[in-house]
Amino acid sequence: MAHLLYEVKDGIGWIRFNRPEVLNAFDPPEVRRLVEVLQEAADDPEVKAIIIGSVGKAFSAGDDLKVAMEEYPQIKSGEIHPILDIVEDITENLQEIPRIIRKARKVVISCVRGHAVGAGFEVAIDSDLVVAAESAIFGFPESNAGMTITGGASQLLPLIVGLNKARELVLTGEFIDAAEGYRIGLVNKLVKDGEEEAAAEELARRIMSRAPLATVAHKRMLQRGVDSDFESALELEKQTITNLIYTEDYGEAISAFAEKRPPKFKGR
């Protein structure tokens, strides 16, 4: 069951992740629901801006590894097809998020507190703007879980922070705090904890006060100015994940998580 919250208030569509007991980690139903709600908000003429936030102390801890841990034995036994049941489910839904945001004729702002890692980090950088509380933490732990990034991050992250910094974040898997995120241009506005939603709303309403057609035109112009075959980047992400699901290292990462020990990767 998806727990996502959605409400429209004074022209703003508020989307909030609501699985605080698992730091708002994503399972397949939650990602599917996020896609549905994002599209609903993007299509609603009463919604002039969209803010993505969360309930609890984290934005999102990314993919729910407990779900992956339960699925892996079924993958090995053939009960679950790794492509049809995983790559063409959660991965394609994660990739649909930036497509919707890029096409939306309104600004989309992520409002981050606590951890925004893995798929949670992807949603943040998919957004047009990021407001972060001082407690925000960003990172891609995929390299320590035998997996790779998706959600358009392979193209969007270098555009935001530069290629070398993107390499560092992705290849090391190390996390950065909100202050560093602000320094490198990942975060647009940095505020004290507890002020992030108000700051995101203030930013949204400032943009909403501008000429709507000009806002849409500027959004489109900026995207087209930096794009180079975005769909090819998404396809490469999916193919990479498809290949990695069959590796020993992915299985080792899941086993190590279940056994609460450091993984021992073999590069195969």
Task: Enumerate the active-site residues.
Answer: 122, 142
CA gap 47, 11 in Å, rounded: 5
CA–CA dist 264, 31 (Å, integer): 30
Q: Give yes or no for a contact between 87 and 107, defined as CB atoms under 8 angstroms apart.
A: no
Q: Are 33 and 2 in contact (CB under 8 A)?
A: yes
Query: Please, how many CA atoms are within 13 Å of residue 108, restricted to the half-sphere of its CB?
Result: 24
Going by the DSSP 8-state scheme, the letter that residue 144 receives in this structure is: G
Of the candidates 61, 88, 85, the one whose C-alpha atom is nearest the C-alpha of residue 75 is: 85
Q: 123: buried, middle or exposed (CB in 10 Å: 19+, 13-18, 0-12)?
A: buried
End-to-end CA distance of the chain: 35
**Radius of gyration from C-alpha coordinates of the chain:** 18
Whether 143 and 170 have beta carbons less than 8 Å apart is answered as yes
Cβ 35 vs Cβ 91: under 8 Å: no
Q: Are 87 and 242 in contact (CB under 8 A)?
A: yes
